[in-house]
């Protein structure tokens, strides 16, 4: 048997395998493609309204990050999260899991905690590294203690990684959805520079992640959710409700024996009938030159930029998912699991086999091309069964690239489609390179599997223990970096974003304001919009409160706050001139009310002259004037002020309780219960 006959037999076998797996994938991806294009079967939760989010009473939320040797990034990550998240700071706490033998990371977290009181370093009971699951499980235990000590109740726990750029509205969305869903998964999209020829190879590895995550998180997970199939957790950007946490009791929530504890957790929950709800939603935002685009509520994350790091990470994923979590018994014998659910198990399981095929196919393709150039007989005779099968495989491959191109276009834009799917045509570099990474990852996972098996087999005989693999699993973490300030700026929300997303103005009105504001005399866009009668002062203040994360006090609520005694300690004429209303003192800070016309320079002078540190809250100028003129009548003080004066809740929480008690038409006691503030 000569080499040509060997390759023909090999080629026939590959064509059959490709066609079987290709048709399988084609049906799945075409359904996802059609669903994405025509928005069929989309959940009503996909069309969230910003005002609905803002008008949902904020519940206490916990966020956790597991950190091991993250001193170089953790401070920047926390600061960015706290400074950009549009959610009352008194209503969420960030718990960072650290290790006693990692003093640098502990110091970085504690330094940030001195600036932000809602940041806490949770030191593990074990030296690191353990596993990410063990780290988070320990944090959950400490969170429960924190609740008892502070008489609060968290409604959900959100898990993030130490290199994430967390979306401004993620906690708002979690707060709104967590009452109706036991667990949430937000999209995760890798951060990419604008693709150009000069940086193509520099970010080639990271770009392969962008290709795969765009396809999976824009289409595949939506399809899984809509079909009632299994939606896996991505390990970051997911939230689990307190209802689910309580079902575990004192048992660990995340499986500590797995390298992909997130996937296994979501798999175990799904088998118990607890589905992970996938959230894919967009809100308008303003980008450069005043243009408007729709922006996903997503976690943006940095991914490995070298071949070796990518293989290492994907080896862990492949091993944890296909060799530790899901198996053939789940596909065929899972009770009370729908066909769509079991089919999704099969798709996850087969990935370890599917990722071995492309490189073999490339070898075959090279041989076919070489044979054609050398004038050899056609590999498959025209008109033969295998000829038509090969044509079918080619068409399926092109259609698969079409679905990937659509996903890339929807997430990253047209330029990414060119570099990801068309450079060069037929054999895109990024696709081939990504397949090479996945191939090596499968080989690496197999080495781990058999290596652990042999080692454990001997230890079982020697020590007579049933589960030694768990003891050998360590946190195979990826080294992280974080974005620069210039890079982070593109993810921050500005005044135009909030005005548009709240429906106060249209995108066209904002663009006109950018062009027509009297910049020669220093007129701000907001002032121009008020002058033109397009927005009111209160709408402006409400929008600024979201941009600057400063609490807004409605006029009807201000008169129910006990600020008179505090204001009497200051010269009234000075307060009127500077437009500042002292409200109360809290933890060494003087909380003051300011309005849109209050100058920053006057606030700084007020601090220096009175030797105080201040915290700002927004009120309208009309309320400011009435209060300073003693014209603000009182309709009865808020009941929650009693808890504030006894040190049980914060002033911001008093404002929030009063505001939403009025909005919901319930008592303050009932509202405290809804928000998880027992007092």
Supply the pLDDT for residue 187.
Answer: 96
Average pLDDT over residues 285-292: 73
Q: Would the pLDDT of 558 be above 60? A: yes
Listed range (408-422, 487-501, 566-580, 657-671) with the worst mean pLDDT: 487-501
Residues with Cβ within 8 Å of residue 162, at least 6 apart in sequence = 65, 66, 67, 70, 73, 74, 77, 480
* Stated length of the chain: 679
Confidence of residue 571 (pLDDT cuts 50, 70, 90): very high
pTM: 0.88
User: Per mean pLDDT, which of 366-375, 396-405, 464-473 is the most reliable?
Assistant: 396-405
- Contact assessment for residue 615 and residue 581, using Cβ atoms and an 8 Å cutoff: no
Q: Report the chain's terminal Cα–Cα distance, integer Å.
A: 84
Average pLDDT over residues 534-554: 93
Supply the pLDDT for residue 516.
Answer: 87
More confident residue, 39 or 319: 319
Q: Would the pLDDT of 575 be above 70? A: yes
Tokens (6 digits) for 536: 């009111």
Q: Would the pLDDT of 137 be above 60? A: yes
Q: Would the pLDDT of 632 be above 70? A: no
More confident residue, 655 or 597: 655
CA distance 192 to 197: 14
Confidence of residue 469 (pLDDT cuts 50, 70, 90): very low
Supply the pLDDT for residue 118.
Answer: 96
Average pLDDT over residues 212-227: 92
Confidence of residue 467 (pLDDT cuts 50, 70, 90): very low
Q: Is 475 left (phi over 0), alpha (psi -120 to 50) or beta?
A: beta
Average pLDDT over residues 334-349: 87
Q: Would the pLDDT of 399 be above 70? A: yes
Supply the pLDDT for residue 480.
Answer: 52
Supply the pLDDT for residue 30.
Answer: 72
CA distance 600 to 313: 48
**Beta bridge partners of residue 160, listed in sequence order:** 65
**In the block, residue with structure tokens 């001195």:** 114
Supply the pLDDT for residue 340.
Answer: 86
More confident residue, 463 or 198: 198
Tokens (6 digits) for 69: 């040797």
Listed range (213-227, 492-506, 665-679) with the worst mean pLDDT: 492-506
CA distance 142 to 242: 15
**Beta bridge partners of residue 292, listed in sequence order:** 286
Supply the pLDDT for residue 468.
Answer: 40
More confident residue, 472 or 650: 650
Burial 614-635 (b: 16+ CB within 10 A, else e): bbbbbbbbebbebbbeeebeee
Q: Would the pLDDT of 633 be above 60? A: no
**In the block, residue with structure tokens 């060494």:** 588
R_g of the chain computed on alpha carbons: 29
Q: Would the pLDDT of 618 be above 50? A: yes
Supply the pLDDT for residue 489.
Answer: 64
User: Per mean pLDDT, which of 189-203, 453-467, 634-648 is the most reliable?
Assistant: 189-203
Listed range (112-121, 515-524, 633-642) with the worst mean pLDDT: 515-524
Supply the pLDDT for residue 384.
Answer: 87
- Contact assessment for residue 578 and residue 526, using Cβ atoms and an 8 Å cutoff: no
Supply the pLDDT for residue 597.
Answer: 87
Residue closest to 123 by CA, chosen among 108, 144, 145, 101: 101
> Mind listing the domains of the chain with CATH numbers?
1-40+195-219+305-330+341-477 (no CATH), 43-186+237-281 (3.90.550.10), 494-544 (no CATH), 545-675 (3.30.300.160)
Residue closest to 78 by CA, chosen among 36, 119, 34, 18: 119
Average pLDDT over residues 239-267: 93
Confidence of residue 391 (pLDDT cuts 50, 70, 90): confident
In degrees rounded to 5, what are phi and psi of residue 426? 70, -45
Confidence of residue 476 (pLDDT cuts 50, 70, 90): low
Supply the pLDDT for residue 267.
Answer: 94
Supply the pLDDT for residue 479.
Answer: 55
Tens of pLDDT, residue by residue over 34-59, are 766 665 445 545 667 888 899 999 99
Confidence of residue 67 (pLDDT cuts 50, 70, 90): very high
Tens of pLDDT, residue by residue over 411-463, are 999 999 999 999 998 789 999 999 999 999 999 999 988 875 444 444 434 44
């Amino acid at each position: 048997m000569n080499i040509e006959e060997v390759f023909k037999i090999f080629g026939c076998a590959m064509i059959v395998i490709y066609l079987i797996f290709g048709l399988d994938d084609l049906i799945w991806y075409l359904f996802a493609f059609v669903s994405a294009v025509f928005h069929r079967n989309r959940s009503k939760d996909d069309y969230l309204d910003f005002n609905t989010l803002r008008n949902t009473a904020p519940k206490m939320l916990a966020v956790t990050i597991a950190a091991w040797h993250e001193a170089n990034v953790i401070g920047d990550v926390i600061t960015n999260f706290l400074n950009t998240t549009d959610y009352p700071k008194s209503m969420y706490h960030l718990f960072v899991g650290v290790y006693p033998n990692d003093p640098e990371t502990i110091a970085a977290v504690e330094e940030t905690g001195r600036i932000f009181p809602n940041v806490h370093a949770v030191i593990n009971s074990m030296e690191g590294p353990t596993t990410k699951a063990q780290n988070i499980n320990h944090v959950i235990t400490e969170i429960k203690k924190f609740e008892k000590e502070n008489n609060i109740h968290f409604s959900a726990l959100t898990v993030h990684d130490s290199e994430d750029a967390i979306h401004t509205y993620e906690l708002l969305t979690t707060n709104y959805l967590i009452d109706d869903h036991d667990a949430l998964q937000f999209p995760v999209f890798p951060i990419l520079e604008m693709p150009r020829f000069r940086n193509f190879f520099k970010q080639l590895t990271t770009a392969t992640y962008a290709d795969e995550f765009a396809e999976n998180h824009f289409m595949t997970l939506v399809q899984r959710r809509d079909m009632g199939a299994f939606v896996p957790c991505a390990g970051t950007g997911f939230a689990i409700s307190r209802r689910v946490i309580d079902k575990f009791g004192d048992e660990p929530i995340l499986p500590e024996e797995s390298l992909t504890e997130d996937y296994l957790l979501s798999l175990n929950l799904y088998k118990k009938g607890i589905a992970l709800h996938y959230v894919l939603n967009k809100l308008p935002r303003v980008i450069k030159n005043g243009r408007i685009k729709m922006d996903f509520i997503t976690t943006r994350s940095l991914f490995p930029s070298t071949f070796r790091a990518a293989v290492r990470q994907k080896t862990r994923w492949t091993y944890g998912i296909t060799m530790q979590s899901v198996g053939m018994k789940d596909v065929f014998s899972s009770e009370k699991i729908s066909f769509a659910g079991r089919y999704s198990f099969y798709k996850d399981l087969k990935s370890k086999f599917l990722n071995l095929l492309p490189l073999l196919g490339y070898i075959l393709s090279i041989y076919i091309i070489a044979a054609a150039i050398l004038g050899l007989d056609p590999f498959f005779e025209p008109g033969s069964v295998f000829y038509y099968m090969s044509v079918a495989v080619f068409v399926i491959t092109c259609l698969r690239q079409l679905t990937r191109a659509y996903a890339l276009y929807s997430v990253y834009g047209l330029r990414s489609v060119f570099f990801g799917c068309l450079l060069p045509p037929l054999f895109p570099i990024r696709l081939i390179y990504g397949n090479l990474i996945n191939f090596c990852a499968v080989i690496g996972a197999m080495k781990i599997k058999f290596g652990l098996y042999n080692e454990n087999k001997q230890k079982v005989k020697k020590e007579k223990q049933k589960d030694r693999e768990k003891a050998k699993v360590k946190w195979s973490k990826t080294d992280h970096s974080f974005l620069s300030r210039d890079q982070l700026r593109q993810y921050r929300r500005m005044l135009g974003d909030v005005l548009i997303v709240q429906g106060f103005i249209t995108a066209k009105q904002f663009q006109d304001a950018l062009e027509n504001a009297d910049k020669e005399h220093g007129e701000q866009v907001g002032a121009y919009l008020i002058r033109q009668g397009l927005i009111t002062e209160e709408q402006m203040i409400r929008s600024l409160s979201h941009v600057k994360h400063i609490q807004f006090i409605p006029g009807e609520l201000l008169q129910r706050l006990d600020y008179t005694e505090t204001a009497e300690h200051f010269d009234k004429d000075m307060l009127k001139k500077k437009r500042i209303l002292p409200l109360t003192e809290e933890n060494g800070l003087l909380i003051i009310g300011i309005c849109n016309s209050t100058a920053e320079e006057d606030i700084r002078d007020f601090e220096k002259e009175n030797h105080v540190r201040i915290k700002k809250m927004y009120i309208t100028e009309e309320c400011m004037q009435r209060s300073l003129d003693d014209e603000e009548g009182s309709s009865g003080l808020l009941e929650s002020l009693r808890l504030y004066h006894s040190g049980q809740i914060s002033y911001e929480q008093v404002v929030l309780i009063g505001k939403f008690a009025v909005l919901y038409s319930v008592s303050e006691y009932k509202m405290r219960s809804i928000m998880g503030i027992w007092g």
